Structures are given as structure tokens and as C-alpha cells.
């Protein structure tokens, strides 16, 4: 049976079809994992995912099996248990796709062993590790001739003392590996407004053996953030190109996006191509920028060398790289995706309302009519909700209700967890 998509909608033309040859094993993630599970499951491919018990994607009807990471166990250790410690017969021979940074690091570090029993994304393990490292990413972007925030390497407090006189607050303490701090604090970086906060946060990171850099905070609202997505083959040919912008996120300047919109941004695409051309990238990738309100330049923020939480938005815009990746990994014919829909939004309505409340608190000139006018999407998808697969949204909503009740009623973590499913 031949499966896939062949459609022409406006400027979009995708003709890649694939045969369901190998099962898929997804490592980590949640919204990202859910989108991939829906794509592959609808194509008749068996999909298993190794995730935390609370992951909403575990409720998807398109998921063959949710392999639960036990509480208190390091995800990478459990990835090894599932794949390398004898490897269960039901996962052997699977296409492995990393849906979180810890999965990317696990696959890159164990690439040689994994290739003996599995099919992997066709990227370069050493480069994958470099791109996970936020400081190395900025260094590569600078070498490629792109604008970046100023940053300072830190190995000890002495390194901070040497540059302290030249620092401009606020300043970010940005981990080399974001997921290490996120596990510890549910934050992507720490922000210091003065010397006391700087040294206190630095000691905290050093005490937890989290390597980090001091990084300039580029001024401007979240609406100055934009991204470029690509899928590339080994000869540098590009099979997908898409740009989008982020309007809001929560918390501001740090949290997950609450409203994002695909849009034709030629300068963002040009800068993205320049970066990926320079590093010789292979596979699916995304680079994020922030437009500096001081001079209009695009400053590189980071590179995501994996599928991201907006994959459902990309798929709806006609850029379903999941199909390209499966065809590529299983050595099936591929066709480039020519053009993508603009004004396709991925929206979290409740979180977006709360995000705009934060905008109102910070900007006295803002009003609710600004929020309404900002919703310029022609079509919309949601991180978890889909009529064809409603249970992940039910799980996500129940967990959100549980968190609110815990905060409002002073419930214990166990009580909130019971209420949240």
C-alpha cells in the first residue's frame, strides 16, 4: 500500500509518497511527539514513544504504545534501556526520531551502536552535539557571517569578575544545554538585573554542574522573534523552506509560544540558508532569530536540530517534514515541497489571553483591541487539540486544571496529580 500526501493547494505542491516499511520510535517530547504520531499513525505505521507518564501525547489513538519513563530515572538512561540493553523485539528495526534535546544528545552520543539495530535520521552526530550547545551555535553563526548577541564564556566566577565592569543588565545566564536547566527549574535561562542576582545565579548553575555563558538580552517584544525551517539532503539541496514569526509567549521572552504565524519573510529565509549552507547541515532543522529594535538586524538566538512543538502548524501549512524524513531515512523517493501556506497559526487561546495580560501590565498603550487585531490567521491548529484525536487535549486540559487547583486551593502535588489525570 502506498501512503502519503499528494496535493496542490494554492502555491503548495507536495508529491512525496511513502510505503510503511519500518515502525517509528519517538524519543521524548510531547506536542512534537503527538504531531509525528498523528502523521505516521494515519499512514498505517506503528508508532511507539518513550515519554514521561504525564505526556499528553500518550493518549493519542495514533500511538501504538506509550513506553513510560519511570519517575526519577534519567530519560537518556531509559532510552538506552529500551534501545540498547538487549532492545525489545517490538522496537528493533525502528526508525528512531528524537523529539527533545535529551533525545538528540542520546542518539548523537550512541550513534554507532544504534545504527547496528535501527534506522536513524541522516544527520552528522558531531554537528548535532555542537548545535545542542547554545554557545557553540552562536560561534558557528558568527563564523557564517551572521549577527549574534554578545556573549562571554564562563567556567568559574573569576571569568565573570573579569568582564563584570563591561556587562549591561539585564543579562542572561544561558546554559549550554537548555534541557539541563529546564529539568531543574523549568526555565530556559536565568536573568540577572544586577550584580547580586548575577553572582547568585552563577553560583547556582556552577553548583549544579550546568555549563553556561553570559549572553546579551536583545531588547524588544516577543513579536520580533522569527524562525526558518528547512529539510536538506547531503548534497545541500533543499526540500523544504518555511518561515514564521512569533507574536506572543508566556512567560514573556522565555516561555512557550502562545500564538505563532507562518509568514513569508525573505530576509529570515536568506539568513537561515546562509547558516545551514555554512555548516553543511543534513536533515530537518530550524534556526531562530530576534530582530534587534536598535538597528533592525536579525540576531541568531538558537538552532533546533530536531522537530519542534510547532510541527502541527508546519504540517497544516503544507510543510509536513515528517513525511520527508521517513522517506529519506527509509531510502524512498522524495519530492521537494514547493511553497507553503502563509497565515497558518498555532494557537493556545487560554495561554495567549494570559500572555496578553502580561503585555497589558507592561505596556500602558496596549488594549484588548490590539489582541483581537493581532489574530490574523486564515487557518488555525492547536498544540494538542484535534477533532480526529481528542484525548491528548483532554489530558492536557485536565492537567492544567489540576495545576490551577493546586495553586488556588493549596493542594498537595499528589492531590493535584489525581485531579489532573
* Cα 240 to Cα 256, 318, 340, distances in angstroms: 24, 10, 9
* Cα 298 to Cα 54, 227, 279, 282, distances in angstroms: 37, 10, 18, 23
Q: How far apart are CA 52 and CA 69, in angstroms?
A: 5
Q: How far apart are CA 10 and CA 154, in angstroms?
A: 50
pLDDT, residue 339, reads: 82
pLDDT, residue 3, reads: 34
User: Cα 231 vs. chain centroid, distance in angstroms?
Assistant: 15
Q: How far apart are CA 149 and CA 292, in angstroms?
A: 9
Q: Burial letters for 323-350: b for 16+ Cβ neighbours within 10 Å, e otherwise?
A: bbbbbbbeeeebebbebbbbebbbbbee
Residues 6+ apart with CB under 8 A from 125: 107, 108, 109, 111
pLDDT, residue 7, reads: 34
Beta-bridge partners for 243: 228
Q: How far apart are CA 146 and CA 320, in angstroms?
A: 28
Beta carbons of 111 and 120 less than 8 angstroms apart: yes
The label of the residue with cell 492547536 reads 382
Beta carbons of 17 and 3 less than 8 angstroms apart: yes
**H/E element holding 181?**
helix 178-185
pLDDT, residue 243, reads: 97
pLDDT, residue 418, reads: 57
Q: How many CB atoms lie within 10 A of CB 409?
A: 10
pLDDT tens for the chain, 421 residues: list them.
Answer: 233 333 333 344 455 788 899 999 999 999 999 999 999 999 999 999 999 999 999 999 999 999 999 999 999 999 999 999 866 789 999 999 999 999 999 999 999 999 999 999 999 999 999 999 999 999 999 999 999 999 999 999 999 999 999 999 999 999 999 999 999 988 999 999 999 999 999 999 999 999 999 999 999 999 999 999 999 998 999 999 999 999 999 999 888 999 999 999 999 999 999 999 999 999 999 999 999 999 999 999 999 999 999 999 999 999 999 999 999 999 999 999 988 999 999 999 999 999 999 999 999 899 999 999 999 898 999 999 999 999 999 999 998 888 777 777 765 655 555 555 5
* Cα 174 to Cα 180, 253, 302, distances in angstroms: 11, 13, 11
* Cα 117 to Cα 47, 67, 110, 120, 126, distances in angstroms: 17, 19, 12, 10, 20
Q: How far apart are CA 260 and CA 288, in angstroms?
A: 13
Question: Which three cell numbers, joined as nine digits, stand for 39?
Answer: 502523521
Q: Secondary structure of the chain: what % helix, strand, coil (to 5)?
A: 40, 25, 35
pLDDT, residue 414, reads: 58
* DSSP-derived 3-state class of residue 406: helix
Nearest 5°: CA angle at 115, between 103 and 334? 85
Question: What single string gives the DSSP state of each residue in 242-271?
Answer: EEEEEEEEESTTTSEEEEEEE---HHHHHH
Torsion sign, CA atoms 111, 154, 146, 172? positive
Strands (E), 16-121: 17-19, 24-27, 47-52, 65-69, 95-98, 119-120
Answering whether pTM is above 0.85, one says yes
DSSP 332: -
Nearest 5°: CA angle at 69, between 106 and 399? 120
Amino acid at each position: 500500500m502506498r501512503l502519503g500526501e499528494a496535493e496542490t493547494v494554492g502555491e503548495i505542491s507536495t508529491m512525496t509518497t511513502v510505503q510503511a516499511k519500518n515502525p517509528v520510535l519517538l524519543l521524548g517530547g510531547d506536542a512534537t511527539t503527538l504531531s509525528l504520531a498523528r502523521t505516521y499513525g494515519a499512514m498505517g505505521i506503528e508508532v511507539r514513544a518513550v515519554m514521561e507518564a504525564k505526556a499528553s501525547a500518550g493518549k493519542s489513538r495514533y500511538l501504538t504504545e506509550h513506553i513510560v519513563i519511570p519517575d526519577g530515572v534519567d530519560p537518556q538512561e531509559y532510552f538506552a534501556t529500551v534501545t540498547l540493553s538487549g532492545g525489545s523485539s517490538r522496537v528493533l528495526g525502528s526508525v528512531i526520531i528524537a523529539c527533545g534535546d535529551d533525545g538528540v544528545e542520546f542518539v548523537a552520543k550512541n550513534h554507532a551502536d544504534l545504527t547496528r539495530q535501527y534506522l536513524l535520521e541522516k544527520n552528522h552526530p558531531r554537528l548535532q552535539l555542537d548545535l545542542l550547545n547554545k554557545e557553540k551555535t552562536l560561534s558557528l553563526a558568527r563564523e557564517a557571517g551572521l549577527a549574534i548577541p554578545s556573549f562571554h564564556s564562563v567556567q568559574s566566577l573569576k571569568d565573570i569578575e573579569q568582564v563584570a565592569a563591561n556587562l549591561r543588565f539585564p543579562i542572561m545566564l544561558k546554559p549550554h544545554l537548555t534541557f539541563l536547566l529546564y529539568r531543574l527549574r523549568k526555565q530556559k535561562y536565568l536573568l540577572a538585573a544586577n550584580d547580586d542576582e548575577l553572582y547568585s545565579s552563577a553560583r547556582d548553575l556552577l553548583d549544579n554542574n550546568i555549563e553556561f555563558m553570559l549572553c546579551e538580552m536583545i531588547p524588544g517584544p516577543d513579536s520580533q522573534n522569527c524562525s526558518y525551517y528547512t529539510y536538506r539532503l547531503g548534497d545541500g539541496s533543499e526540500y523544504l523552506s518555511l518561515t514564521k514569526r512569533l507574536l506572543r509567549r508566556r512567560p514573556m521572552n522565555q516561555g512557550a509560544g502562545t500564538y505563532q504565524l507562518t509568514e513569508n519573510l525573505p530576509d529570515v529565509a536568506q539568513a537561515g540558508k546562509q547558516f545551514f549552507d555554512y555548516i553543511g547541515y543534513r536533515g530537518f532543522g530550524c534556526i531562530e532569530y530576534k530582530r534587534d529594535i536598535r538597528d533592525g538586524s536579525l540576531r541568531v538566538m538558537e538552532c533546533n536540530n530536531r522537530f519542534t512543538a510547532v510541527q502541527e502548524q508546519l504540517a497544516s501549512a503544507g510543510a509536513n517534514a515528517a513525511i520527508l524524513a521517513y522517506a529519506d531515512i527509509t531510502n524512498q523517493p522524495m519530492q521537494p515541497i514547493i511553497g507553503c501556506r502563509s497565515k497558518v497559526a498555532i494557537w493556545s487561546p487560554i495561554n495567549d489571553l494570559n500572555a496578553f495580560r502580561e503585555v497589558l501590565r507592561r505596556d500602558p498603550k496596549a488594549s484588548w483591541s490590539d489582541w483581537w487585531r493581532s489574530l490574523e490567521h486564515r487557518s488555525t491548529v492547536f498544540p494538542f487539540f484535534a477533532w480526529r484525536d481528542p484525548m491528548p487535549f483532554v489530558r492536557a486540559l485536565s492537567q492544567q486544571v489540576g495545576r490551577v487547583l493546586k495553586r488556588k486551593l493549596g493542594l498537595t502535588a499528589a492531590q493535584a496529580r489525581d485531579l489532573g489525570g
